[in-house]
Amino acid sequence: MSVLTLDRSVLQLLAIPIVALIVMKSLSKSKHRMPPGPRGLPILGNIFQLPQFQWLKFTEWKEQYGPIFSLNLAGNPVIVLNSHEVVTELLEKRSTIYSDRPRFIMAHEILTGGIFIAFSGYNAIWRKLRRAGQEGLNVRASEKFQPLQQEEARFLTYQMMTNSRDWDDHMRRSAASSVLCAVYGWDPIQKSDDPLITRINDLMHRLVRAALPGAFLVEIFPMMLHLPDWMAKWKREGSEWHRKDTEMFEGFIGKQEVLIATEGNKPCFVASLLDQQAKHGLSRKETAWLAGTMLGAGAETTAAALSVFMLAMTLYPDSMRKAQREIDSVVGRGRLPAFADRPHLPYLRAMVKEVLRWRPVGPLGLPRRTSEDDWYNGYFIPKGTVVIANAWAMNRDPRFYPDYDEFRPERFLDEKDGEIDIPGTRGQGHVTYGYGRRICMGMHVANQALFIDMATILWAADINPTKDDKGNPILPSQHDCVDEGLVVRPAAFPCTVAPRTADSMTVVMQAVQSELGKLNT
């Protein structure tokens, strides 16, 4: 009998009690009143009511059931949070109860060995990794990455003006290169098809696919985890991928150690991790995976946010012109923007916020799980409930963003260009980076990258829609999007990136050549 036949036989035997298990879960559901929500089917609940772009349906249900509503997914309780007030109360003020994760057996326990911080439960390992990551990526620590990000922004701008047709490929390369430099201190990646970018993207997509509900039967029947490897092909393959990925990430750490020994301690995230490894009690494997996580997650989210920026500039030329006028008044035309200009560019800082608010690249984020029974406004939320925070709905709350579907950076500035605070956003103006103890560790690095990329591109170039045969602009859709698993980004669209002035390309090229010259010496 083949292994494949055994796998199929085991699955068939385990599948027999599946209906009984769902029924038992449904019948054992608490008699206490949970938040209201849409009616579903007997036993299966609301499973078949969830479309591909769930955040849109959740926002629709918000109007019907309120800022907090519940779902039943085959006996598993889920609550969806849709307002700043509810999120602040539950995910911020009661964060000790609402910071756990659902169990991701394949994605977390097998593919990443239980040390992937994004999937990790609220436990001692997570706290250790979080402390180490936060120390290397806080506001002050992030400033040491600015010279690298500035160099990358210039090379990106040069590539886009040279070949605007492939602007999205350039942005994906640039985001990966920028994060790689910040994490490992390596030289920039100069080709969009670099094998390293492909390898990291493949890893992240594999993890996201493995975390999808129903992707592996072991998520429903955890006892399958104890099957011997020869009976479970999925388990063998997952363990092998974990071995290969660990080998890759530990190899990156080894390369960094060689660089430190030969060239000195170049500022980067891994250098600080290695320096503080004993302090945080990290093993070599934990250090390697924490750094790899920052690389994988940071590259795709930054690239997706930059694609939102390009969409906004194509559809809202008045905003582009206003940002360019501000940049010209502060920077002039004789040099490129730098981080020293950041305090004097309030409209551009507001534009970064608006890009992240207008089309959040993670409209739902990763789900959480309650670690205790809880009550909120008379509603019972049982232990083990999956909690989803709908950032899309909160970033479009008409109380704070009256014309929420419009791209308008001015919403974050008063008449004197002072910054306007939006309640419940920690000064970010949006909730795209998350909430509470699980808020994105890399948000300061991401804000820096977006600022300098946008400033440099707008200093040098105009972004315009392409034209048809009759000279009419071809405007991209404002709402079409692509769900790539880890991020949601605008659907692909063409645009042109042309130098604003005759000397724009010359100034950018000279800066790029200067930086390349440093790399070659």
CA-angle at 97, arms to 96 and 100, nearest 5°:
90
Q: 197 is written with which tokens?
A: 């970018």
Residue 23, pLDDT > 60, answer: no
Q: Where is mean pLDDT largest: 16-25, 28-37, 83-92, 265-274?
A: 83-92
**pLDDT the model gives residue 3:** 35
Calculate what percentage of the chain has a pLDDT beyond 70.
Answer: 93
CATH architecture of the domain with range 3-520: Orthogonal Bundle (1.10)
Helix (H, G, I), strand (E, B), or coil: what is residue 503? coil
Pairwise CA distance, residues 131 & 141, whole Å: 13
In 3-state terms the chain splits into helix, strand, coil percentages (rounded to 5) of: 55, 10, 35
The more confident residue out of 12 and 414 is 414
Q: Are 453 and 459 in contact (CB under 8 A)?
A: no
Q: Are 71 and 78 in contact (CB under 8 A)?
A: yes
**pLDDT the model gives residue 14:** 47
Q: Which residues pair with 419 in a beta bridge?
A: 413
**pLDDT the model gives residue 520:** 55
Q: Where is mean pLDDT largest: 253-257, 382-386, 517-521?
A: 382-386
Q: Could you give the residue ranges of the DSSP H alpha helices within 16-83?
A: 18-27, 54-65
Q: Are 83 and 428 in contact (CB under 8 A)?
A: no
Residues 220-226 have a mean pLDDT of 87
Pairwise CA distance, residues 360 & 143, whole Å: 24
Q: Are 388 and 370 in contact (CB under 8 A)?
A: no
Comparing 289-298, 383-392, 490-499, the range with the smallest average pLDDT is 289-298
356: left (phi over 0), alpha (psi -120 to 50) or beta: alpha
DSSP 359-409: S-SSSS-S-EE-SS-EEETTEEE-TT-EEEE-HHHHTT-TTT-TTTTS--G
How many beta carbons lie within 10 A of that of residue 491, not counting itself? 12
DSSP 216-252: SGGGT-GGGGGS-GGG-HHHHHHHHHHHHHHHHHHHH
Q: 361 is written with which tokens?
A: 């690249």
Residues 309-331 have a mean pLDDT of 98
Q: What is the pLDDT of residues 196-205, one digit of tens each?
A: 888 888 888 8
Residues 126-146 have a mean pLDDT of 93
pLDDT grade for 266, boundaries at 50, 70 and 90: confident
332: left (phi over 0), alpha (psi -120 to 50) or beta: left
pLDDT grade for 517, boundaries at 50, 70 and 90: low
- Residue 289's H or E segment, with its range, is helix 284-315
Q: Are 495 and 310 in contact (CB under 8 A)?
A: yes
Q: Is 481 labelled a binding residue?
A: no
**pLDDT the model gives residue 27:** 43
Angle between helix 317-331 and helix 443-460 axes, rounded to 10 deg: 90
Calculate what percentage of the chain has a pLDDT beyond 90.
Answer: 70
Q: What is the pLDDT of residues 464-476, one digit of tens each?
A: 999 988 889 999 9
Residue 265, pLDDT > 80, answer: no
pLDDT grade for 151, boundaries at 50, 70 and 90: very high
pLDDT grade for 190, boundaries at 50, 70 and 90: confident
**The pTM is what?**
0.90
